[in-house]
Amino acid sequence: MAESSTQQSQSKKVMLSAVQPSNRLTLGNYLGALKIWAQLQKDYDCIFFAVDMHAITSRQDPEELREQTYRALATYIAAGIDPDQCILFAQSHVPAHAQLAWVLTCHSYMGELSRMTQFKDKSAKQGTNIPSGLFTYPVLMAADILLYQTELVPVGEDQKQHIELTRDLAIRMNNLFPKAPLFKVPEPYIPPVGARIMSLQNPLAKMSKSDPDVNSAIYLSDSDDTILKKLKRAVTDSGSEIVWDDEKPGIKNLLTIQAALTGKKVPDLVAGYVGKQYGHLKIETAEICIQAIKPIRDEVERLTKDKTYLTQILKKGAQSANARAQKTLDQVYKNVGFILP
């Protein structure tokens, strides 16, 4: 593994992404992230991890967090991400993330962090005691990315601003030390439109694993019955025709889910629904979801029970990640004037 990933690193661009193990992953995470990562893994030198350190920016139950972190890793593997081809690990297993984050924090500005829309949204929900970690969260994310000389970061639209900040920090640090630029300046990779799955209860908002309304999201751990129930309850739009129309975000979302899971084109799907009711669309979307999710769910269940296997993957991943991250961190420490131990 270590050897093959070194070889890969010489010829392929580094692609890196992560999800927060703050809850179970959803169909939105699968279609908008994991499935795309799995498709891209052969063409890139891939690094995927579970950001347990980002998760504690809001209160977590410790046992839950541990279990969700294993589960996130198991879900990556069940979704087709190959641990022999990619580096898979838990963020807290690579100390360089926190170490680089501190140096970057000292080079980031209060003003730019205050402009992050995710911070504004999340802090507005927190009341008076807003954890500072919520404010510096994007700097930790920048460290995640810059440590590995990443070129491409597949993320959803909502994370684009954090990638912009990462680029600004990389350029700022490189300019400070022009003799030996420290970081590659990464690009976001925003998946194709069809990969954006919306809430089943409010199709104008993204499907989110942290939505308090459990009916708004399909979790990859949901039973067949639950999937069917949630889709039957999905909010649809006025009228009764099944068409692709901005006025019908609920219908568009169901068609998007079908298209993303079957690979069929939206116009072909729409043509098949002429003269049919919303109810048909809901039930058929449920059947398609069940077919896609069942094998992933069963595999996640099997893998999460096999802690020996998961621990072994995490250990191997942390070893490769630490080796790469340390190289960047050493250079940063040297440049800012720390005595290398």
Q: Which residues are catalytic?
A: 122, 206, 209
List the one residue from 27, 34, 35, 54 that touches ligand TRP (CB under 6 A): 54
> 88-117: which residues touch ligand TRP (CB under 6 A)?
none
Nearer to ligand TRP, 21 or 250 (CB): 21
Least separation in angstroms between CB 156 and ligand TRP: 7
Q: Which is nearer to ligand TRP, 37 or 278 (CB)?
A: 37
Query: Residues touching ligand TRP: how many (CB under 6 A)?
Result: 13
Closest contact distance (angstroms) between CB of 142 and ligand TRP is 8
- Kindly report the number of other CB atoms within 10 A of residue 189's CB atom: 16
At its nearest, how many Å lie between ligand TRP and the CB of residue 51?
A: 4
Using CA atoms, how far apart are residues 93 and 325, in angstroms rounded to an integer? 11
Residue (144 or 228) nearer to ligand TRP, CB: 144
- Nearer to ligand TRP (CB atom), residue 119 or residue 273: 119
52 is a site residue for ligand TRP (CB under 6 A): no
Alpha helices in the chain (DSSP H): 2-11, 27-29, 35-40, 52-55, 62-78, 96-105, 110-114, 117-124, 132-146, 160-176, 224-232, 249-262, 266-272, 278-305, 307-336
Find all residues with CB under 8 Å of 276, minimum gap 6, and list them.
242
List 5, 14, 17, 35, residue binding ligand TRP (CB under 6 A): 17
Dist. CA 316–CA 90, nearest whole Å: 11
From the CB of 263, what's the least distance to ligand TRP, in Å?
Answer: 25
Nearest to 118 by CA among 97, 93, 141: 141
Instruction: Report the half-sphere exposure of 119 (CA within 13 A, side-chain side).
Output: 19
Q: Which is nearer to ligand TRP, 144 or 222 (CB)?
A: 144
Task: Tell me which of 51, 96, 170, 310 binds ligand TRP, using CB under 6 A.
Answer: 51
Q: Does 20 bind ligand TRP (CB under 6 A)?
A: yes
Stretch that binds ligand TRP, among 11-19, 38-46, 128-136, 237-245 (CB under 6 A): 11-19
Judged by CB under 6 A, the chain residues 117 through 146 that form the site for ligand TRP are 141, 144-145
Residue 159 and residue 171 in contact, taking contact as beta carbons nearer than 8 Å: no
**Residue 30 CA neighbour count, 13 Å, CB half:** 26
The residue length of the chain stands at 341
**Residue 138 vs 249, nearer CB to ligand TRP:** 138
Beta pairing, strands 87-90 & 152-154? unpaired
Strand order in the sheet with 87-90: 87-90, 45-50, 14-19, 152-154, 187-189
CB 71 within 8 A of CB 110: no
Q: How far is the CB of 166 from ligand TRP (least distance, A)?
A: 8
Residue 47 in contact with ligand TRP, rule: CB under 6 A: no
Which run of H or E residues covers position 47? strand 45-50
Q: Does 159 bind ligand TRP (CB under 6 A)?
A: yes
**Site residues (vs ligand TRP, CB under 6 A):** 16-20, 51, 54, 141, 144-145, 153, 155, 159
